[in-house]
Structure 1
């Protein structure tokens, strides 16, 4: 009886599609003159349990709109047929408006673009691998769980992804290890049990392929940016002893669920940097649901203001809704737009939305002035910091053009090379257009040997390579400037940074972490989980060093599943 009912529904829907197409042709809708672009035709839950029937229905719908099976085949990019129903296709504006009137279509969404939003952290929040009385010891370390990561791919050679001590791949797993550029089946193991990549949406959006267009991207699941590697290792990186960053932050690196399996879905690309399109993201959700993941982490999102849920343009909300309906926990980052209020993203009620905090670790570096006053900043650069009694100057004193304000922040080309040569230069941040890395390059180009960079409070540290640079707050910067103005021959010595734990009040919300309330519904409260963000992944080189990243993409991963 159920089969007869389904057959009747199929026949009825086919009749309605034919009638709709005929009506549109009779009304002489101009559907070929406009330029086409990718649209997502979202149709809600699947009508058919058989994915092939769902795909056939999509093709028939598109054929009835475009006039032939060949035109439909040329137009369609993806058929979403596992977790929900819909498809992505190249359509003109008139075609998109026309198909929106077809029966069963919930909405037609233009293909938008999204942006991509450590060793001590687990100890800081009380999860100690070596202690018997801990949340980690009472769990199974994520054994048997499958964590899906929708991001920029993975660097499989990282020590965090070795499969030592891993259990067998769950029999329910349906995924594959998709081969591609510098990525083959041997890159998967019992840790990385699957990898897929999706780029039809991004290549159509940019009108050119990534490969060979001044990018370092790989046409495979291999990570060219580092973001996906970072997030995957934070979620489920295996144990790596003596991990450190050039001697700093030494310890045991591990993910939240170190014995969980990883499924990688590369939907974000280095074009220009970290772009992910709706069409590719939805396909990643669709495949992850089919493959059998238990948890999905998604560290990307829209910019504000947010779309309304009834607007149907928030594809992360759509994909996560269908994943949650299938029993998959979806965890998303809140965004990197703090400290302003109403900047939070990914606020759908079925998503676990997570903010970022600091931890009680810092990397202080001493600045000893010529008058024997020692002030402190922070640095993660372990180059030639042992500069002793070196000349110290203020950037405005050595400006090429004193009538401009460029030298204050040490912008490129603003410093007098003769006056900067061999000296440590003090610079002040005056806008978001300049940062400590750019300033260090300007000082180095001018012949300077070190940088002290004063800026407003901002959590996280940037590396200047092997060039000594120390970040200080405005108060400390002003103290140093006062000394320079009062001294006839100001000098300073810079020390190496060290790792200090437990001397700072933590946790507190990180400066960059997006804040509520929601810009869409400010009067409705949602619990926002806030966790630590100082988590690290091994560098691409097979060295026992880690990159210190302080970005909000990690906060969603601290909440990954443990039984």
Structure 2
């Protein structure tokens, strides 16, 4: 392209942008209205012709307002054609008023929100059990999709896995009746059923490194709780009465609540530490593929070293590639090593990598200092008298002789002097592991009555409610919220009281990126943006193992918790797996890449205050290195308009362009002949995001292809990338049928003023008058 043509394409007409803006506003004005027409005349036992006639009468009525039957069909989302006569449609206020004036219309009113009292994360994502046209309804609640969970096993007696109301096991299940779970004492019931259709354990890798496990542990039963929590989040039933210490009261459920689930246990614990070995993990993925599952959820990862060969030497990456070849989506957690850059794990392009962010619910306790200053923290459990003050002591002031300052600061076992701690509230610093609550155990052992848990630099301002063994309230990193420490350091006899923990809903802003969530840029494959997406991963309440302690500590004697609150990308991963299950049900012929694209390109970068998503670590704006494409919106993902599809051959050519040996690549696709194409580059993989590392000053071309999965229409591109010249060619794409593909190029050139190594973020949007907005993040930097 010569300079004159380039300059023409860089000039986006103001009128076009203004028109596009008006169309977006116009679309956003539509709301769901119900038109009630009374009773039907066809009686109580209508024939199929009666139902069809009633539905078409609704089309005709609304067409008289909208101008055509086609527009009416597009607007109507429900036709009540059996006993209640009426319909629900997406309309503008004026259209609803005109409809209400029709002689045969009884009333027209906005569809109101009927609140179900729930564990919240799915409601925060816009899903409602009795809602209208949400992803649950569109995806038929994931019915008969099979979700595999590779984790610590399952507690099969949980109501999340009850077979009540579940039909026969789908014929596509090839796992037989294998259920490697020991029966509970005194029970003759087989633990697996029509909901939990299979359970296996894999422990040879663990035993090779740690010695033989006792025979009683040779079971897929979950003694830790993590696997039950993640599996129920992905595909658990609706279970009312969920709560932890009286908090979070509501209904527990999974993303695909009518899906079938299978547990593959690969993680084991002989002490307080849980270990998962790659040999077990890869065997489990191989078995899950053989069993005929549709989705695999893997909330584990590893980063021993940063090597260019890691995507073909990592068990999750290898397993995910073969899952993809069998039309299975593998979803994996991004890791909990944030907020440091280049900590993201599970980075292969064929893995669906999930970051963690907050929801609009908080579990809180108010701390009142001796000077009557009050501060809010996160807490699940406070049983101290709410108006009684207790002496306050810093853990480092209560350390035993010969104990290091660093160990005492994080309240490691055996660091606190009981003579100094007894009867007091201790200030500890989080030890860096988001799943650890060992600090509280040490304080309790030393005689403390409570703990104020200050975040470390990793957790920043993400305050987490955790199931500690004594009254505990978590607070932000003292560098960002120093008040309690300042009070302690300036007061001779400091005291504190804690209010009872309570649940607050509708908090703003949300989502906020969790400080612990691992960040990009991708250290292994720089041309692929990771993580891909973010989902709820903070203070998530879900089912738990009755054999596990509330805190995951061996020394914690509190057992019998059917639910628990956990945090981490381990929790956000099954949220995406559950949404994938809905898409697999709704679009059974879509490829894994198409499903991934639908979720990514419909994600939001705004919170519930309509402002850009923020980072909890330092309260600045978050970037795609934290959230990928943005925060998942399952309702919109069900109907994305366009998708970026990728085939196995595309991935193989990507490996070729990455410098992998062709013989090695051929081995990945041994059933089909393959030869590396010399025309491919890593930047041209048809990924839903665009990442351009180490750019020079010369313009480069990026090629992408979109597939139409919506109605025929014309899409217009809008693109921006601060510090770079950028243009899309062609600027419009017209689709005449479903399945039609169109290719385009994005031409990018760095401006001279941009600093070397300076990361810049932008976006590409394809929109057809605001009905569909297909968004891709763009990341670029100069070498």
Q: Same fold (TM over 0.5)?
A: yes
Q: Contact conserved, 1:143 with 1:166, CA < 8 A, in 2? A: no
Q: Deviations over 1:481-529 (max 9, x none)?
A: 4434554543322111111122231112211111112111224435711
Q: What residue is the counterpart of 1:282 in the other structure?
A: 282
Structure 1 stretches of 5 or more lacking a match?
A: 1-117
Q: What residue is the counterpart of 1:515 in the other structure?
A: 519
Q: Contact conserved, 1:530 with 1:555, CA < 8 A, in 2? A: yes
Q: Contact conserved, 2:463 with 2:475, CA < 8 A, in 1? A: no
Q: Contact conserved, 1:307 with 1:520, CA < 8 A, in 2? A: yes
Q: What residue is the counterpart of 2:448 in the other structure?
A: 448
Q: Deviations over 1:28-78 (max 9, x none)?
A: xxxxxxxxxxxxxxxxxxxxxxxxxxxxxxxxxxxxxxxxxxxxxxxxxxx
1:546 aligns with 2:545: no
Q: What residue is the counterpart of 1:247 in the other structure?
A: 246
Cα drift, residue 364 of structure 1? 1.8
Q: What residue is the counterpart of 2:205 in the other structure?
A: 201
Which aligned pairs between 1:7-18 and structure 2 lie closer than 5 A? none
Alignment partners' CA distance in 2, 1:372 and 1:434: 31
Alignment partners' CA distance in 2, 1:180 and 1:292: 18
Structure 2 counterpart SS, 1:241: strand
Cα drift, residue 472 of structure 1? 1.8
CA change 1:185–1:433 in 2 (3 A) is closer
Alignment partners' CA distance in 2, 1:311 and 1:412: 38
In the alignment, which of 452, 473, 482 is matched to residue 470 of structure 1?
Answer: 473
Cα drift, residue 434 of structure 1? 11
Point out which structure has higher relative CO (alpha carbons under 8 A, 6+ apart).
Answer: 1
CA change 1:311–1:131 in 2 (3 A) is closer
Q: What residue is the counterpart of 1:325 in the other structure?
A: 325
Q: Contact conserved, 2:282 with 2:316, CA < 8 A, in 1? A: yes
Q: What residue is the counterpart of 2:217 in the other structure?
A: 218
Structure 1 counterpart SS, 2:141: coil
Structure 1 counterpart SS, 2:534: strand
Q: What residue is the counterpart of 1:314 in the other structure?
A: 314
CA change 1:438–1:319 in 2 (3 A) is closer
Alignment partners' CA distance in 1, 2:503 and 2:336: 26
Alignment partners' CA distance in 1, 2:350 and 2:403: 56
Q: Contact conserved, 2:382 with 2:498, CA < 8 A, in 1? A: no
CA change 1:486–1:278 in 2 (3 A) is closer
1:162 aligns with 2:179: no
Q: TM-score, normalized by length of structure 1? A: 0.71
Range with greater deviation from structure 2 (254-263 or 356-365): 356-365
Q: What residue is the counterpart of 2:425 in the other structure?
A: 424
Structure 2 counterpart SS, 1:553: helix
Q: Deviations over 1:329-362 (max 9, x none)?
A: 1111112221111111222222211111111211
Q: Contact conserved, 1:365 with 1:379, CA < 8 A, in 2? A: yes
Structure 2 stretches of 5 or more lacking a match?
A: 1-117, 548-559, 587-783
Q: What residue is the counterpart of 1:138 in the other structure?
A: 138
Q: Contact conserved, 2:434 with 2:568, CA < 8 A, in 1? A: no
1:502 aligns with 2:506: yes
Alignment partners' CA distance in 2, 1:364 and 1:310: 42
Cα drift, residue 391 of structure 1? 2.9
Q: What residue is the counterpart of 1:491 in the other structure?
A: 495
Structure 2 counterpart SS, 1:301: coil
Q: What residue is the counterpart of 1:353 in the other structure?
A: 353
Q: Deviations over 1:430-481 (max 9, x none)?
A: x64999844433433343322223233245333222x212122216874234
Alignment partners' CA distance in 1, 2:389 and 2:279: 58
Root mean square deviation, CA, Å? 3.0
Q: What residue is the counterpart of 1:122 in the other structure?
A: 122
Alignment partners' CA distance in 1, 2:155 and 2:403: 49
Q: Contact conserved, 1:307 with 1:314, CA < 8 A, in 2? A: no
CA change 1:434–1:514 in 2 (3 A) is closer
CA change 1:176–1:383 in 2 (3 A) is farther
CA change 1:385–1:434 in 2 (3 A) is farther
Structure 2 counterpart SS, 1:324: helix
Structure 1 counterpart SS, 2:321: helix
Alignment partners' CA distance in 2, 1:155 and 1:435: 19
Q: Contact conserved, 1:177 with 1:196, CA < 8 A, in 2? A: no
User: What is the aligned residue count?
Assistant: 439
Range with greater deviation from structure 2 (292-301 or 272-281): 272-281
Alignment partners' CA distance in 1, 2:177 and 2:473: 44
Q: What residue is the counterpart of 1:260 in the other structure?
A: 259
Q: What residue is the counterpart of 1:66 in the other structure?
A: none
Q: What residue is the counterpart of 1:27 in the other structure?
A: none
